[in-house]
Amino acid sequence: MLIWFDYQIMKYRIDNLQYCNWTRQIFEINREAKLDAVHVTIVYHEDYNELLLEIKKWDKLLKDNLDLIFLGKNFEDIDKAHQENKTAIFFGFQNCSPIEDDINLVEKVHELGCRFMQLTYNNQSLLATGCYEKNDSGVTNFGRETIKEMNRVGIVVDMSHSAEKSTFDAIEISKKPIAITHANPTFWHPAKRNKSNDLLKTLSESGGMLGLSLYPHHLKDNTKCTLESFCEMTARTAEIMSVKNIGIGSDLCLEQPDSIVEWMRNGTWSKNKNYGEGSKGKSGFPQQPDWFKDSRGFENLETGLRKIGFSEDETNGILGNNWFNFYKNI
């Protein structure tokens, strides 16, 4: 049974996907934006031992910035962060590589703080098919068992970079609502990573969440996308799926060098360069729109959503309360 919270008594701000080159300055920006929680990507293609090295880096970041951030484990930590004027950090994986081919590692990564894990990152994995593959064979046998284990321990199934059949499969297999933490509808912009109306409708009916992305390659007109266009898209999306199932997953990659996006796209499996949704001439990170250069753009989103016709409660839902309610059911 899903638990929903009373919109009238809260105003949380949650960005459910960032992958920044983390510094104190960025944590300060997130606090200036009044973000109560951020789901951060800590691995892309790393194996379990490499994950442990990333955890050590985060241990230092958390220790050095105790006045700004702490590691979040559940929805109560979001409220704690709200009360203490801090940001709760929730770990997530953009690929299933840290569990390798061992189902027992699912519980171990949960113990390390993982709360979101994608079954694929663009390409075929041991669990499911990525959105860049020509053929989508769906969730594999190992994938089915992994979803069950994720449900058991409390890790959200994230299908942001997965192909469509695999995503429908995951929704059907999972006993808990899944998430697409950072993507937009294809009706607005037909990027490979964006999602169809039918998929968004099914996601919403299952109780799942969509985090709207601010990454330029997912936006209509890329860097030149206007706030009005983004908010109009949000309103149209709310006609396809419940507004209570829409949030923000900005996919901000602040201060990351272009070598990182090459690693994200190619990992260690290819000697040929894959430019993803970029191109040979524009292979690096694209520039953010002027109205969302960093988390402080949440203020512009609030203004734009209200202007387009969303109520105060609906706007607060999209900007954080809906994710808070989703976290209550992990």
d(CA 321, CA 96): 28
Q: Which of 130-134, 162-166, 268-272, 279-283 has the lowest mean pLDDT?
A: 279-283
Q: How many domains, in total, are found in the chain?
A: 1
Q: Note the pLDDT of residue 260.
A: 80
Whether 6 is in a domain gets the answer no
Question: Per-residue pLDDT for 1 more than 70?
Answer: no
pLDDT digits (tens, 9 = 90+) for 232-261: 999 999 999 999 999 999 999 999 888 887
Q: Judge whether 60 lies within some domain.
A: yes
In a domain, 283, yes or no: yes
> Is the distance from CB of 130 to CB of 90 less than 8 angstroms?
no
Task: Indicate whether 299 belongs to any domain.
Answer: yes
In a domain? residue 126: yes
| Per-residue confidence band for 325, with pLDDT thresholds at 50, 70 and 90 | very high
Per-residue model confidence (pLDDT) at position 111: 98
pLDDT by residue (tens digit) across 35-93?
Answer: 999 999 999 999 999 999 999 999 999 999 999 999 999 999 999 999 999 999 999 99
Query: Residue 116 maps to which CATH number?
Result: 3.20.20.140
Tokens of 239: 């006609």
Is 2 a residue whose pLDDT tops 60? no
Q: What is the pLDDT of residue 259?
A: 80
Residue 101 lies in a domain: yes
The per-residue pLDDT for 233 is 98
**287 lies in some domain:** yes
Q: How far is CA 104 from the centre of its chain?
A: 24
- Closest of 60, 73, 76 to residue 27, by C-alpha: 60
pLDDT digits (tens, 9 = 90+) for 85-123: 999 999 999 999 999 999 999 999 999 999 999 999 999
pLDDT of res. 73: 97
Q: Are 231 and 239 in contact (CB under 8 A)?
A: no
How many whole angstroms separate alpha carbon 39 and alpha carbon 247? 12
What average pLDDT is seen over the chain?
94
Predicted local confidence at residue 7, as pLDDT: 42
- Residue 54 in domain: yes
State CA 211 to chain mean position distance: 6
Q: Residue 251 belongs to what domain range?
A: 11-327
